[in-house]
Amino acid sequence: MTDRSQTSERPIHSGFDSGPSSEPVTPWTAEQVRALEARHPPLSPWRVVQVQVLVTVLLALAWWLFGTEPARQVRSTLWGAAAVVLPHALMAWGLRRPAVLPAQALLRFLVWELVKVGLALVSLVVAAVGWSQDLSWPALLAALVLGLKVHVWALWMFAKPTQPIT
């Protein structure tokens, strides 16, 4: 065994400079906080739901106009859209009240996310088991994937700052 005092190992640093040379953090003024809030307004999940509905209705219209079996493909598109839009709308409704504590907000979000995923899975299982016998799976999956991608795109678009950072 080697004695650590005799080795030339350097102490492990965490990467944070906590020595006397670090600068103190200055608190923000009320004007700075208001400017930040003006640049980043709160994002409403209902706007994302609206975009999801709009895009899936446009997809259903495209199936109606250009599909080989329009009625079947439109029904399937609406079923796939419902598997995305309805659970998201339920989650938006569940998260409508602000939380008092950060831990409460996190728990509420996780519970409603679990409800959202569960409801989406149930709707897809119901479609697969045969409650809706006459489905076009490509149309259903296209609506499902498009609804999920629109969800991500809408969150990205609406979360952009309204004013450039100066």
- The predicted-structure confidence for 52-81, as pLDDT tens digits, reads as follows 999 999 999 999 999 999 999 999 999 999
Q: Is 164 helix (H, G, I), strand (E, B) or coil?
A: coil
Question: In angstroms, rounded to a whole number, what is the distance separating the alpha carbons of residues 150 and 45?
Answer: 13
Residues 6+ apart with CB under 8 A from 141: 80
Amino acid at 159: A
> pTM, whole model, 2 decimals?
0.69
Cα 111 versus chain centre, distance:
14
- Whether 138 has a pLDDT exceeding 80, the answer reads yes
